[in-house]
Structure 1
Amino acid sequence: MDQDASSSGGWRFAQCFGDKGEVEDITEADIISTGGRVVLFERNEMKKGCEYKFYTEFQSHEPEFDYLKSLEIEEKINKIKWCRRQNAAHFLLSTNDKTIKLWKVFEKSLRVVSESNLHDGQRSLPPPTATQNLRLPRMTQQDNIVAAVPRKVYSNAHAYHIHSISVNSDQETYISADDLRINLWNLDISDRSFNIVDIKPANMEELTEVITAAEFHPIHCNLFMYSSSKSNIKVADMRDSALCDQHAKMFEEEEDPTNRSFFSEIISSISDVKFSHDGRYILSRDYLSLKIWDINMESRPLKTIPIHDHLRGKLCDLYENDCIFDKFECTWSGDDKHVLTGSYHNYFRIFDTETLGDVVLQADKSAFKAKKIGGPLPGNKTGAKNGVRPGGLRENMALETLDFNRKILHASWHPRENTIAIAATNNLFLYSAA
């Protein structure tokens, strides 16, 4: 373990939610994004620094059965997106494979009758014998509770599994995407949507690509992008036409023919795309790398960042165990100066977008053990003469002993500070940096 004071690029483990027992002992319902439950945490204002406490949880989706197609629809939640806060209540969208729900989460006070003509607090009273003895019942506040109610249910609009939802910057509309179509919804109207992208061929035997992710532009409400399994990203403008099959821009890098192999198409499929907060850049993740694109340059990415290049020699094994189809997400920091994505063995990496200097961290028990004994996280030394030099974790990433069942697919970065949340199987890890 690296005990240098500048270890891990200033990042420190802050908290871990969830059962800290062995991975083998957990139930499937406890795996993050499996059980259909939404759990919310709130900042603990009583404590200094980054600390959160449980706020509420609710069951967002239940398992269903489509009798027409004899298909079981899992409760597993594929995506959650916050709507911009308008008042004291929180609004969020959640979706499983088929149904999207708009939830309102708010605090309300429970009031009970404390005094009446027959009761005085806990005491029973005889019935009043004269009209002047009648009195109005009194209500008192008993408790504050957090309630979650589904305000809208948007269903029956997708023939295939929904994998992406994105709220527009106008906070009035959102898009939902499956493998072949993207639909546009108004948040206030749940019984109809507009199909704005349709790549389904007339003959399904001619299908050559699928949509893998979709997102609205953070500033311009008429622009959205979607990525495909053919390693390209298309930006569409809803002002052009009602059906946005004709893209305004396409970002694609020509593959080097010398690197072509049986697995090329699989590993080049884009699993996630994100606009930077200023809308100027696009971050995309494929199986082995991250790419940063300038929205004004379509021919090639500004930067290509290898994530786990040492796996190139293991692609055959990864194909056999289906890991090659894992969909890793990626995210920008709030100031767009860093990017984050995950890997196997619960490793995740944070890159400086200018220098490409990186920090490798691991979301596992060693993090909270290090906190318990007061030591820094295992990680990379950043105080070396030539910038970042390899530390223990980066070397460990390339070892043969990687556990491919432990993987960081989902991560989120706080919009205004250096706090990140990492989903690792059934645990939620929080890290913070000064």
Structure 2
Amino acid sequence: MDAGPGPGSLSTTSLNGSEQLDWHFLQCFGERTPGEEIQDADIISAIEFDASGQHLATGDRGGRVVLFERVAIQNTLPAMDQRAPRLRHAPCEFRYMTEFQSHEPEFDYLKSFEIEEKINKVRWVNHPSQSRMILSTNDKTIKLWKVFEKKVVSLADYNRKDAPGTPSHSQQTWSIPAGGNASPTRLGPLPDQKAQLSLGGPKVSKHQLKFPTVTGTEVVLAARCKKKYANAHTYHVNSIALCSDQATFITADDLRINLWDLEISDQAFNVVDMKPPNMEELTEVITVADFHPIECHTFAFATSKGAIRLADLRASALADSACKSFEEPEQPNAQRSFFTELLASMSDLKFSRCGRHMLARDFMGLKLWDVRMEAAPVATFPIHEHLKHKLGDLYENDCIFDKFDCCFSGNGSHVATGTYSNCFRVISRGDAGAAAPASDIALEASRDPQRKRFLQTPSKTPNRFGLSRGSSVKKPAANGSAGADGQSSFALQQNHDFNAKLLHMAWHPESNLIAAAASNSLYMYAAR
């Protein structure tokens, strides 16, 4: 396995590497067949590796949490699908562990609206015991789940002859506890009982009774809700972030961020409150928040205006006035439009493993920030620049509000994010002063991720918004890398399917392995 560096080992040089990764399909869970109808409840809405990379959790719109565990390839089941080419010398594979229903649909009678069971976020809690601890949330309620191993004993040789192996009321006999005054309980036959017992068949004496025997013991995984953190958010919860001390966590909604103790479910501390005295004065909302991976007193949150605020709880218990504000300066001649603020809204925010860099995703692309430099991002990676002429269509079908995840590789040298047509981009950062990334590869969530699809774009005709679509098809660059105009061949060749979108993905913390969720399917890719 390609082990990544430990926390704090990431340096500037790790971001300057030009390593070219060769990605291959590893495995798939829940792959769709052509023409298969997808249930909305089965669509994956959250995905997360644990800190060790041994386990993977996904949440879906039906309120379920599904767990997977890493296994060595030689230990995988022989029934695993072998049709697709598999990565040679792949470090591992994942297999299904268990699933449980985390949230159910609810109805708020005071405000008269339904609360969906959709899982917005899942986060692993590092616990010293063998139990797996998971935080999950829908729009209103956060729950702490414990997944543990439980022994299930199978019994046989019951006394009922008509239903072997099935207990019944006729098996219950009475026992009088010590003291003489207490009421009898149904524990077993009396020691001196001489009466005949009826066991659903012919009458038998006490000498003919026999104890059931254990025929087998099976270890199964069970899930139990340990804590329920509710009634602390007025608006929809969009983020959960664990502190590095693994004892506290933050949850964020549109206007507030609350700090919780894992062991206390009925009390939370409000650390950010952006609600103005008059709601008409509201100019921005919180879209995502994340804790620093090392410093337990530092967290960051992003807003709908494209700003990132870095707060330090040592400076103030109420971190409304952030210690640092990261916002890209507006160009002097930049033209503002109806879509400007919609495009600037941050959908995801991630710290690098060492905590020195932050990766933020808005609709148009990725921005890499150094936490010590507030003036401008270290690098900007365009993802949807080629869709600027389709903003009217994107707004009409609500795609402009899609929230794409982003992620760092374990050593911080690569970043990845999703896009349309069930594709995602893996970008390697070159020199800090370079105008373009060292490599930019577009991969499709399929069994052949390197497949290229050259589709003829429609002729140049104005649409209902008066915008025109391009008609020329340019020759792509090799491996999906950037072309002469700085855009990737993926951007130039794809006639995007906006109904097929890859919103959620996660990078393994130790290996070059990516888990990507396309609709109800979970695809795993590994690179060597």
- TM-score with structure 1 length normalisation? 0.87
8 Å contact from structure 1 (residues 9, 380) kept in 2: no
Change in Cα spacing, 1:24 to 1:403, as seen in structure 2 (3 Å) is farther
Structure 1 residue corresponding to 2:310, chosen from 232, 235, 244? 235
CA distance in 1: counterparts of 2:216 and 2:150, whole angstroms: 10
CA shift digits 1:224-250 (9 cap, x unpaired): 000011111011111122211111111
Structure 2 residue corresponding to 1:358, chosen from 440, 448, 469? 440
Deviation at residue 142 of structure 1 after TM alignment: 2.4
Matches within 5 A, 1:122-133: 127-129=205-207
8 Å contact from structure 2 (residues 133, 144) kept in 1: yes
8 Å contact from structure 2 (residues 254, 287) kept in 1: yes
8 Å contact from structure 1 (residues 117, 127) kept in 2: no
Change in Cα spacing, 1:64 to 1:23, as seen in structure 2 (3 Å) is farther
Residue 17 of structure 2 corresponds to none
1:101 and 2:143 are equivalent in the alignment: yes
8 Å contact from structure 1 (residues 117, 128) kept in 2: no
Structure 1 residue corresponding to 2:62, chosen from 8, 32, 35? 35
User: Any idea what SS the aligned residue of 1:313 has?
Assistant: helix
Structure 1 residue corresponding to 2:37, chosen from 3, 11, 25? 25
Change in Cα spacing, 1:400 to 1:367, as seen in structure 2 (3 Å) is closer
Residue 406 of structure 1 corresponds to 500
Greater alpha carbon shift after TM alignment, 223-232 vs 395-404: 395-404
Greater alpha carbon shift after TM alignment, 68-77 vs 324-333: 324-333
CA distance in 1: counterparts of 2:517 and 2:30, whole angstroms: 10
Change in Cα spacing, 1:122 to 1:134, as seen in structure 2 (3 Å) is closer
Residue 373 of structure 1 corresponds to none
CA distance in 2: counterparts of 1:336 and 1:395, whole angstroms: 25
Matches within 5 A, 1:183-222: 183-222=258-297
CA shift digits 1:269-298 (9 cap, x unpaired): 111111100000111111111111111000
8 Å contact from structure 1 (residues 419, 433) kept in 2: yes
Residue 465 of structure 2 corresponds to none
CA shift digits 1:307-333 (9 cap, x unpaired): 121111111221122111111111101
Deviation at residue 431 of structure 1 after TM alignment: 0.3
8 Å contact from structure 2 (residues 259, 271) kept in 1: yes
Matches within 5 A, 1:2-401: 9-22=21-34, 25-33=37-45, 34-45=61-72, 46-47=75-76, 49=90, 50-113=92-155, 127-129=205-207, 139=214, 141-262=216-337, 263-355=339-431, 356=437, 357-364=439-446, 366-367=448-449, 381=478, 388=481, 394-399=488-493, 401=495
8 Å contact from structure 1 (residues 175, 185) kept in 2: yes
8 Å contact from structure 1 (residues 414, 420) kept in 2: yes
Deviation at residue 209 of structure 1 after TM alignment: 0.3
Deviation at residue 196 of structure 1 after TM alignment: 0.6
User: Any idea what SS the aligned residue of 1:214 has?
Assistant: strand
8 Å contact from structure 2 (residues 121, 238) kept in 1: yes
CA distance in 2: counterparts of 1:417 and 1:212, whole angstroms: 29
User: Any idea what SS the aligned residue of 2:322 has?
Assistant: coil
Q: Considering only CA atoms, is the larger Rg found in Structure 1 or Structure 2?
A: 2
Name whichever structure is richer in strand by fraction.
1
8 Å contact from structure 1 (residues 344, 408) kept in 2: yes
* Letter in structure 1 aligned against 2:257: I
CA distance in 2: counterparts of 1:251 and 1:32, whole angstroms: 31
8 Å contact from structure 2 (residues 440, 482) kept in 1: no
Q: What residue ranges of structure 2 are gaps of 5+ in the alignment?
A: 1-19, 46-60, 77-88, 167-198, 432-436, 453-475
8 Å contact from structure 1 (residues 62, 75) kept in 2: yes
Change in Cα spacing, 1:369 to 1:244, as seen in structure 2 (3 Å) is closer
- TM-score with structure 2 length normalisation? 0.72
Cα-Cα RMSD:
2.8
8 Å contact from structure 2 (residues 155, 165) kept in 1: no
Deviation at residue 41 of structure 1 after TM alignment: 1.3
8 Å contact from structure 2 (residues 287, 346) kept in 1: yes
CA distance in 2: counterparts of 1:258 and 1:404, whole angstroms: 31
CA distance in 2: counterparts of 1:141 and 1:94, whole angstroms: 34
8 Å contact from structure 2 (residues 482, 488) kept in 1: no
Deviation at residue 143 of structure 1 after TM alignment: 1.3
CA shift digits 1:64-116 (9 cap, x unpaired): 00000001000000000001132211100000000000011111111245679
CA shift digits 1:27-56 (9 cap, x unpaired): 111111211111111223304733222111
Deviation at residue 58 of structure 1 after TM alignment: 0.8
Q: What residue ranges of structure 1 are gaps of 5+ in the alignment?
A: 1-7, 371-378
8 Å contact from structure 1 (residues 9, 381) kept in 2: no
Residue 418 of structure 1 corresponds to 512
CA shift digits 1:384-403 (9 cap, x unpaired): xxx95659x94343346211
Residue 433 of structure 1 corresponds to 527
* Identity, % of aligned positions: 51
User: Any idea what SS the aligned residue of 1:193 has?
Assistant: strand
8 Å contact from structure 1 (residues 359, 380) kept in 2: no
Change in Cα spacing, 1:136 to 1:351, as seen in structure 2 (3 Å) is same
Residue 461 of structure 2 corresponds to none
User: Any idea what SS the aligned residue of 1:259 has?
Assistant: coil
8 Å contact from structure 1 (residues 360, 380) kept in 2: no
8 Å contact from structure 1 (residues 328, 341) kept in 2: yes
Greater alpha carbon shift after TM alignment, 67-76 vs 17-26: 17-26
* Letter in structure 2 aligned against 1:208: T
* Letter in structure 2 aligned against 1:11: W
CA shift digits 1:326-357 (9 cap, x unpaired): 11111101111111101111111111123521
CA distance in 1: counterparts of 2:334 and 2:36, whole angstroms: 38
CA distance in 2: counterparts of 1:365 and 1:419, whole angstroms: 15
